[in-house]
Structure 1
Amino acid sequence: MRRIKTRVFVIWSLIVVAAFSLVGCGSEKQTPPAAQQAQQVELNISAAVSLKDALAEIQKNYQAKNPNVKILYNLGASGALQQQIEQGAPADIFISAAPKQMNELEAKNLINKATRKNLVENKLVIVVPQDTKLNITKYEDLSQDAVQKIALGETATVPAGQYAQQVLQKLGLWDKLKERVVFAKDVRTVLAYTETGNVEAGIVYKTDAISSNKVKVAAVAPEGSHQPIVYPVAITSGTKQQKAAEAFTEYLFSAESKAIFEKYGFTMGK
């Protein structure tokens, strides 16, 4: 009788130990390491829409190397993005197509001044539809009677529109041409108007012209006719992802990113 009781006790003990072991294994499978959870990051980046193609390729490369970082772009006119940041829209990094918008955010302490750098530079060009019959080789040619509509970005919010206005004013053309101007919400819309032939000409960045096979460059803005086209980048003061934002900003200046920016027609900032 004692032997039977002893055997029963041993068997029961083994069953209990096995059950606890299984529970322990199940817990390990269900709970991922805390360090792994902490690595998941989302970066919100507000950037000038003229950077769209280059940033898309940079995003692909960066996320392949950093799978735990998800990059979310908010692309648009720099002035509109500035207003969004001022109104509290989520943004960890801001890339403007002109210093003006960055200066205004800096004055309101909405960017971290110490992180601000000039990222890339661009040129301003006239584009016309590929099949145009017009002979436009310089900005003065926009005053031809045959040029009825000229697309520009909104001068209040679109840096490309502001630069275009500067050129036309510098060359003494603005007062004559302003009645022919069709304003667009951003530089890519200017490009679209020109591609579809809704306007005879548009003024966009060189990089936008390169991105399309439906338009051709007719003229480049003369040196000194507008302020330098510089794209500053900075981390916002409200970011909650400081380290991740610093790492991505540093990557924007890497040799790999430089090659991508230059591929799309930009030159690196000075």
Structure 2
Amino acid sequence: MDSKKILMIAVVALIAIVAVSSCSAGFLDFLGGDNATDDSLNGKEVNLAAAASLKNVYDDELIPMFEAKYPGVKVTPTYASSGDLQTQIENGLETDVFMSASNKQMNALADEGLIDNDTNLQFLENKVVLIVPKDSDLNITSFDDLKDVKGTIAIGDPESVPAGQYAKEALTNLGIWDAVESKFSLGTDVTAVLNQVAQGSAECGIVYATDAKSNDDVKVVCEAPENSLNTSVIYPVAMIKDAKDADAAKAFLEFLQTQEAKDKFVEYGFTIHE
């Protein structure tokens, strides 16, 4: 075989190898698109400020999932009542993403120019429920029965805790707030309310359905009547306007809207707001 033929065969073989390699790479990219990472995010950090009722799903599931998808990015969460987080953000808390248990706090920060409104998303829904300790023999079946409770009723502080604001709204609309106000033990966030009931230091309490689901030491008596709340319990999420690592924060918001992340929220008792 002469040298020209050998050269031609070598060139054809090389072209074939390059073509196959390119197709394979493209195919692998297609298959692994959802798991592809952005190296430009390496070393970045997402500072997350989230309502206390979100702690379990974030710590147990979503933060590990995001950090596995973006190995170079670290998520640092701060959990508290939405009202406390609002105040902390106003006072300079280093935050990239804020997820509130109510629109009230998100709207206040937006009005102050602290939220990137283009990213503001009405994301999750929750339910307000009445709970008692799991071994309680308290004879209550409705919110109206709270008038007959002799002991303590735990609720979030309506001044700063969305769950407490919803509790006050429901009890006021049901016409029983004045009759039960003297029995309240006010929690600094919804987790504190849940713990009071779980530990038996309160006869009953008002929390979110997701909180009740997370603790085997309480049981749900009933949901707040539909007409007792003026609006649905909405959890908005948004990026802070002056986020330190904006690209990482955007990646985190995009991740929250993936089906795998939404499935975890649902697993923990939330509803995706449509």
TM-score (norm 1): 0.85
* SS of the residue 1:191 aligns to: helix
Identify which of 81, 84, 87 aligns with 1:80: 84
Instruction: Show the counterpart of 2:226.
Output: 223
Judge conservation of contact 2:44–2:248 (CA < 8 Å) in 1: yes
Instruction: Show the counterpart of 2:27.
Output: none
1:219 CA drift (Å): 1.0
Distance 1:250 1:36, change over 3 A: closer
1:36 CA drift (Å): 6.5
Instruction: Show the counterpart of 2:75.
Output: 71
Distance 1:63 1:164, change over 3 A: same
Instruction: Show the counterpart of 1:179.
Output: 182
Q: Which AA in structure 1 matches 2:169?
A: Q
Give the distance between the partners of 2:57 and 2:141, measured in 1 at CA.
Answer: 28
Instruction: Show the counterpart of 2:17.
Output: none
Identify which of 156, 159, 164 aligns with 2:159: 156
Aligned residues: 235
Cα deviation code 1:142-192 (max 9, x no counterpart): 111x43210000101000000000010011110000000000100000000
* SS of the residue 1:162 aligns to: helix
Judge conservation of contact 1:158–1:186 (CA < 8 Å) in 2: yes
- Asked whether 1:214 is paired with 2:217, we answer yes
Query: Which of structure 1's runs of 4+ aligned residues deviate more than 3 A?
Result: 35-38
Unaligned 5+ runs, structure 1: 1-34
- Taking only aligned residues, the RMSD between alpha carbons, in angstroms, comes to 1.3
Judge conservation of contact 2:170–2:224 (CA < 8 Å) in 1: yes
- Asked whether 1:265 is paired with 2:269, we answer yes
Q: How does 1:1-270 map to 2 (within 5 A)?
A: 39-56=42-59, 57-144=61-148, 146-226=149-229, 227-270=231-274
Distance 1:165 1:86, change over 3 A: same
Instruction: Show the counterpart of 2:9.
Output: none
Q: Larger deviation: 122-131 or 235-244? A: 235-244
Cα deviation code 1:183-233 (max 9, x no counterpart): 010000000000111110000000000000000000100113112100000
Judge conservation of contact 2:156–2:165 (CA < 8 Å) in 1: yes
Q: Which AA in structure 1 matches 2:233?
A: I
Q: Which AA in structure 1 matches 2:238?
A: A
* SS of the residue 1:110 aligns to: coil
- Structure with higher Rg: it is 1
Q: Which AA in structure 2 matches 1:126?
A: L
* SS of the residue 1:224 aligns to: helix
* SS of the residue 1:136 aligns to: coil
* SS of the residue 1:218 aligns to: strand
Judge conservation of contact 1:136–1:219 (CA < 8 Å) in 2: no
Judge conservation of contact 1:78–1:159 (CA < 8 Å) in 2: yes
Unaligned 5+ runs, structure 2: 1-37
Give the distance between the partners of 1:38 and 1:51, measured in 2 at CA.
Answer: 25
1:238 CA drift (Å): 1.4
